A and B are shown apart, each in its own frame.
Chain A
Amino acid sequence: MKKYGKRISRYLMKNKRGRFYCVAGVLYLLAILFVMNDAWLYQTPIVKVTKVVTIVEGKSKSTRGTEETKYKQSLYGKIINGEDKGKEVRIANEYTTTEMLAQKYHKGDRVFYKGSSIIGVKRDTMLVVMLGFLALLLLGIAGRQGGLTIITAMMNILIFVIGFWMADDTSEILSVCSRLILFFAVVTLVGLNGIHRKTFAALLTTLCVLLMIMGIFDLVMQHMEELDYSTMEYLGSIDNPDEIFHAEIMLSGLGAIMDVAVAISVALSEIVEQKPEVKFVELFRSGREIGYDIMGTMINVLLFVFGCGLIPTCLIRMNNEVRFVTIVKLHIPCELCRFFVESIGIVLAIPVSIFITAVMMKLSVKKREKRC
């Protein structure tokens, strides 16, 4: 045992990378241990379930006429924080096979307890486990680029949270969002590519394309009948759905548009560097070639992100005799509209970014020639 320890420590002394990963791994484990035992930070009482008794309560018909079993659970547990620490409690829980609104609990679960019922599961441990795993994976496989990715993603989330915490209410969300988008774009592009001429080309492209798609969207909106915002999910009692919808389109399309802009500007600047005397038409042609490849897949990425989020609500409606066509027509036009506008943005980003990059690169080459 001692021998192995010595060998490992010698390896670590020699290898800087190894030492770094080791520290990261230990930090990860410590973070998990910390969130597993952070109940004292919470004000809401947390119960650790120690024993579960589940009985079948009855059977009813599901919407399709099949059998739906109803279960009743008695959960025994102990409060692990706050004033009532150590108190034994018994909680009743009911759920059905679908587990749509109420879920099944298992031994060892930690749940928030209020009144005499459960108001939520403690999910922070899982969240930290997953986030840490992702960070380690990125560092381990992608190395320095992975580190940069983590830093930019974290900064973006920070900007998002601070921006919305600062905004007092939702009334000015559009102006807040458009300012935030500038930050997002600068942080992401500079963070991933460094300060370089191609970064500015990508930045300019992103902003231009965003302006263009918002212009197209507004133009179509003005000439056609109003979009019915009441079908938007999570609407609640927000009084300016129109502005929020605009902000949503800009934000969720931003990543994809930046991706296209970066891919094209990096490739084109590479070509110009290798061959400074390249013609404008040739640049345009090779940019188009790259554009073909990414256009389809980028739209697909957005399609799956947007389409899959709709599955649960679609299932409920389709099982309650709402036809699929009706759902598309009446329940999800907002989502569809967003998807279309963003896809238009992705496609438009290709010619725009080719044009901007080519002009910027050519200009810089010409300047250099003059100086000589």
Chain B
Amino acid sequence: MLIILGLILMIVIVLVGGDRGAMSLIALAGNILCLSLAIWLYAVGAPVFLVTAGAGILISCITLFYQNGTNIKTWSAFLAVAITMCVLFAFIYLVVWKSGAGGLNEIQAAGEDVFYYNMNLDISMPKVATAVIVLSTLGAVIDMALTVTTSVYEVKCHKPDIKMNKLVQSGMKIGKDVIGTTVNTLLFAYLGESLLLFAYLRMQNYSIELLLNSKILFQNCISMIFGAISCTMIMPVSAVLIAKNCELFDWMENSK
């Protein structure tokens, strides 16, 4: 079953995408490998935040530099992602810590796993929850950063003598066009994840006041909200960075 679906996916990607499809297939495999490696490292008790940072950098490198080549666009996108994620990291940990959103949620805690498995892992679950949020927003953030930097670079190529603040503005304009669908993509991905959850909660006759304050809802909402926040924040950051980098590049060319 799974093998057949996987094969279909591979064939379709190569058919539609050709060479670059194959490349994105390899990058996808690399990302899955990275994620698995990160999970394995968490499981053996490596420091959570260190592993998260490492995995994040590795994943960004694969997605940006392997898939899209090493150039001024991908470098700016990489820097923008790094800056935004560093700022948000602290923010996310604060929110998780303050609202006790780590660990298993109510439904998982009522499941069978709790009886079968020993729960004393000596791994801080609030930290793991932070890592989960950071990594799950990463895909969307990289996507957004690359969209902005690529289009700004395009504008710069067409009009080499354009002013810097004009460049930033054009980057923001592209970002604004994309943000709507990106936020909705994230929204639906999480709605789909929590569909079963809602069906289950309805059967259990959970009261609304407890549902609104439940850990399950909070975990899903907060991942979605932080995804959207980081996608919005990366817009100006990457627009400014690519514009600055273009200017720097020009200056270096001129001084030669």
Contact = CB atoms under 8 A, between A and B. Distances in A.
A248 B190 CA distance: 10
Given A127-B218, A255-B184, A305-B136, A320 B118 contact: yes
A344 B67 CA distance: 19
B31 interface: yes
A251 B119 contact: no
A344 B128 CA distance: 30
Contacts of B126: 99, 103
Contacts of A131: 221, 225
Given A101-B103, A138-B228, A292-B21, A301 B5 contact: no
A84 B25 CA distance: 61
A301 B104 contact: no
A244 B192 CA distance: 10
A134 B95 CA distance: 14
B98 interface: yes
A173 interface: yes
A228 B31 CA distance: 27
Contacts of B2: 333, 336-337, 340
B202 A296 contact: no
B122 A258 contact: no
Nearest to A228: B1
A185 to B, nearest CB: 10
B252 interface: no
Interface string B83-107: 0000000000001001111111011
A340 B120 contact: no
A63 B121 CA distance: 5
A98 B120 contact: yes
A308 B135 contact: yes
A220 interface: yes
B39 A184 contact: no
Contact of A62 (B42, B122, B227): B122
A82 interface: no
B13 interface: yes
Given A121-B213, A130-B95, A347-B17, A255 B186 contact: yes
Contact of B5 (A220, A232, A234): A220
A199 interface: no
Interface stretch (A2-10, A141-149, A272-280): A141-149
Contacts of A252: 188-193, 195
Contact of A192 (B181, B228, B233, B236): B181
A204 interface: no
B241 interface: no
B61 interface: no
A351 B108 CA distance: 40
Contact of A68 (B9, B120, B191, B202): B120
A178 interface: no
B251 interface: no
Contacts of B214: 120, 123
A350 B200 CA distance: 35
Given A100-B125, A141-B232, A259 B185 contact: yes
Contacts of A152: 180, 184
Interface stretch (A15-23, A310-318, A359-367): A310-318
B196 A233 contact: yes
Contacts of B39: 310-311, 314-315, 318, 324
B157 interface: no
Contacts of A99: 102-103, 124-126
Interface string A93-119: 000111111011100010010000001
B32 interface: yes
A75 interface: no
A343 interface: yes
B190 to A, nearest CB: 7
B63 A297 contact: yes
Contacts of A351: 16
Contacts of A314: 39, 43
A195 interface: no
B192 A347 contact: no
Contacts of A170: 199, 202-203
Nearest to A110: B213
Given A153-B187, A291-B17, A313 B143 contact: no
Given A42-B209, A308-B135, A263 B195 contact: no
19 contacts: A97-B122, A97-B124, A103-B126, A137-B233, A142-B232, A143-B176, A156-B191, A169-B202, A234-B107, A244-B196, A252-B189, A296-B20, A300-B31, A304-B140, A310-B39, A311-B135, A312-B103, A318-B43, A351-B16
Interface of B: 1-2, 4-6, 8-9, 12-13, 16-17, 20-21, 23-24, 27-28, 31-32, 35-36, 39-40, 42-45, 63, 67, 95, 98-104, 106-109, 111, 113-114, 116-126, 128-129, 131-133, 135-140, 142-143, 146, 150, 172, 175-177, 179-193, 195-200, 202-204, 207, 209-210, 212-215, 218, 221-223, 225-229, 232-233, 235-236
- Closest 8 CB pairs between A and B? A252-B192, A255-B188, A296-B24, A62-B122, A308-B136, A255-B185, A304-B139, A251-B192
Given A173-B199, A296-B23, A305-B139, 13 more contacts: A62-B122, A98-B122, A122-B213, A142-B179, A153-B184, A170-B199, A234-B108, A234-B197, A238-B200, A253-B188, A259-B184, A305-B136, A348-B16
